[in-house]
Amino acid sequence: MKLHVFNPDTDLALACNERHYLAPEQVRGMTHDLALLPLWYAKAGEKVWISDGKAMDYATQMCLLFNLQVEVVMGADVMRREGVEMAPWGWNSAIRHFFLKNGVAVGRLPSADWIETYRTLASRQTSAALLGKLPADELYCGEAEILKTPDACRMYVEAHRGGVVFKAPWSSSGKGLCWCKNGFSVVKGWCGRVLKEQGALIASPIYNKVDDFAMEFVIDACGKVVFEGYSLFMTDGRGRYLGNRVLSFTYFEEYMSRYVPVGALKSLCAHIALLLEEYAEAGYRGPLGVDMMVCKEKDGFRLHPMVEVNLRMNMGIVALRLAERVLAPGLSGLFRIEHYPGPDALREAYAERMRKSAPVVEDGRLVRGCLPLVPVTSESRCLALLEVD
């Protein structure tokens, strides 16, 4: 039985690589405010851990309303029970140390050596290397180069006059990206700092992106790569995550057919699944998402088949589960995470939204309005929502 724990700082903790890592205040607030988010993707019979009881009543209400066979629990006792498998949003040294501090036996957790192996697998360097192994196809575009010196970064910029995006090997939600459009001197300091801290950078040309999407997979206990579905997500101009469309499989394929034939998606999915076997062979088990892009070129649209791999639970899988379990059939919606400067601003915006678009649930499915996926408390600064189109 899995015990789900929401730790959205996992990519930042991987970058730090210290067991005593402390996330920035805003991220700690997000961890607290969205602790209940695993309720929406946990399977029947599994448990979700929260740090205090403020979300408990709301969890009970949601379980009854949507027939979610999930138990929400508090305290460390449940972690120490035999047969309970720790299932954080993502693994790193800090979350492993957290479980150890709460009395989880060391033999029930990944070893420190495995965490280091996992850290390497989760790096953008690994996904950049995998991208180069995809078979050539006229419908694909995209390149990624691993650079390890400032001179190499400068030369890459000089060779790509249309602009370059540099990416740190480990970062979270667009924060480790640096856009270079006006010469290397502007970004030299940033590149030097990341090279010193993380040892490498991943560089790519800036593409004429028209859409972000992902293919979601799970590597099961037997090491089999299983395709879970597609997700369509939104980012801002700096690559930071904004939200996901909540769509059925059929709606997604209809949407994407404006760009490429559906058969091209299925072929790409098969190629990607074969590449992901490298993660399975290295011992990884669990969810992962492969971020992709639709890019506009002079002669039509192309697919960037592997922007990066999120080797953990991710918002795309949350959106898939919301489509399966919460949204009424035949509808589409928007799942998003909102951040506010303070609790008063959140409560004011929330009250106005509920006044205009209160959720309507019929037969255990959301049919109209906007559903908060986590409770609003006196301390909340972050909110997760599902809104019907």
Q: How far apart are CA 294 and CA 291, in angstroms?
A: 11
Q: How far apart are CA 368 and CA 389, in angstroms?
A: 8
**66's tokens:** 């949507």
State the architecture of 123-140+207-317 in CATH terms.
2-Layer Sandwich (3.30)
**183's tokens:** 């010469």
pLDDT of residue 174: 64
Domain 145-205, CATH = 3.30.1490
Residue pair 229/253 in contact (Cβ under 8 Å)? The answer is: no
**278: burial class by Cβ within 10 Å (0-12, 13-18, 19+)?**
middle
pLDDT of residue 319: 97
**347's tokens:** 């409560």
Residue pair 10/91 in contact (Cβ under 8 Å)? The answer is: yes
Contacts of 49 (CB under 8 A, 6+ apart): 3, 4, 5, 35, 72, 73, 74, 78, 79
Q: How far apart are CA 302 and CA 208, in angstroms?
A: 10
Tell me the CA distances in angstroms from 85 to 41, 46, 81, one per residue in order.
Answer: 16, 10, 9
- 3-class secondary-structure state, position 291: strand
Pairing relation of β-strands 225-235 and 241-246?
antiparallel
Sketch the domain layout of the chain as residue ranges. 1-122, 123-140+207-317, 145-205, 326-389
The phi and psi torsions of 296 (rounded to 5 degrees) equal -95, 125
- Residue linked to tokens 């970004």: 187
The DSSP H or E segment spanning 62 is helix 56-66
Reported as a single tens digit per residue, the pLDDT across 64-77 is 999 999 999 999 99
Q: How far apart are CA 153 and CA 201, in angstroms?
A: 8
pLDDT of residue 68: 96
User: 230 pairs with which residues across the strands?
Assistant: 215
User: 147 pairs with which residues across the strands?
Assistant: 201
> Which residue, 231, 228, 205, 233, is CA-closest to 218?
228
CA 284 to chain centre: 17
Reported as a single tens digit per residue, the pLDDT across 224-261 is 999 999 999 999 877 788 999 999 999 999 999 999 99
**347: burial class by Cβ within 10 Å (0-12, 13-18, 19+)?**
middle
**117's tokens:** 């192996």
Contacts of 237 (CB under 8 A, 6+ apart): none
For helices 93-101 and 112-122, the axis angle rounded to 10 degrees is: 150
pLDDT of residue 172: 74
Q: How far apart are CA 144 and CA 200, in angstroms?
A: 12
> Which residue, 339, 336, 338, 346, is CA-closest to 379?
346
The ranges of the chain with pLDDT < 50 are none
